[in-house]
Structure 1
């Protein structure tokens, strides 16, 4: 009789372990990205999203550098790009890692409401509506009136993205270049937590007229890589909504092990009490 009971107990343990394995597979399916890519066999190429160079807008801050044979001649222009103290989570352009809260970032030239920047010696230059490449050509053209064979570069100094919700490192990130995808931004924020809804990531984009356009991504499918919203604009906000498991558990992995431990303890208690 006792032997039969022990056999039944081990059978119960086996069923519990199988159930835990199924639970694990289900959890893996919930957090896995790009589930429409097969695990084996010949993989197809994914169409690329079209990248449209960003246009300069009012309230953007630009780094404007003019270089000539004599560096001292353009020092007054370039000095406006010297770093100033700031606070918050800032991405370092040199090593693409997060630097401490108190950081130095460039000051730059503010694009006013009329679309102009005011540069010493060069005066007011309208750059709104241009890409940074076209803006550099415009600055070079104006600088040629004052300097011999100048070279000009224009970059965004305040290309920032707000990443919030169920990510490991929420915050405002200043990015080192213009061509940044939603996947890049999520990676910078440390990826989604176990509770983040991967099939419903919200992007809110501010338009030139001040209105905002929402768009939702499904990170479980590769369609995100072909979306016209795949590449970010300055001041985009990414919000990762929490899933239903956020309320009932603090960690899906811990919950799985707690279930196993509780089941084992229950079986052991039954075995000892039946002796």
Structure 2
């Protein structure tokens, strides 16, 4: 039976994750640096003997606003890096952080310690392992900002347990890598951030990236509905790209889907989609403030 702290468990490389990596729109230098960092953690780190001179903790941290693809990036780069290692097999675990935190006094601390010492340790003993810590602020909240709404002592101890556990695992398993994501960089404990071997900010896409995301989404539709391909060569398409600026990648892709729903006829026949409909859907996306 799978532990409640594990949301997903699979082997890498993985076709689904590889597809995510291909679809992710990031500057080439950022994708290269990120993949190289994962490779370094899985290879060179095992050969370094002086931990004091080369302090690698086996943590990569991705921060940025919601919808910018941090989780997809984490999964994608994990698989892409393993693919670059000929015939390598690496296990992948996605952690369910909310199952490790609790309002009961002392329970979060105990659950975190148990999960790291028992579950992660057991998998790490079997070979190279990449662990995704999504919404990591749930587990390593900034101890200096604890309010009385939560139990500050309990949250403090939970963060202590997480940091101590990560240090212990880093010392014992040089082929164990944590990739953490957070929408709230300011909520993270500075001691956790300082442990990260690489911190990358994933911001909303540039105009060029917006265009690439739009084209990627429309191209996926055009594989079945050929007329959609013509939208991308229409001069009006640049107005669509301009309207997409300021949205995150997830919002842009969902706005393309939303454009189809502006007409029942278009849902029944996506070939009827127009740039005007895309423009309207993107404008609607900008009016939604949560």
Question: Under a length normalisation based on structure 2, what TM-score does the superposition of the two structures give?
Answer: 0.21
Question: Under a length normalisation based on structure 1, what TM-score does the superposition of the two structures give?
Answer: 0.22
Give 1 or 2 for the bigger CA radius of gyration. 1
Q: Greater strand share, 1 or 2?
A: 1
Q: Greater helix share, 1 or 2?
A: 2
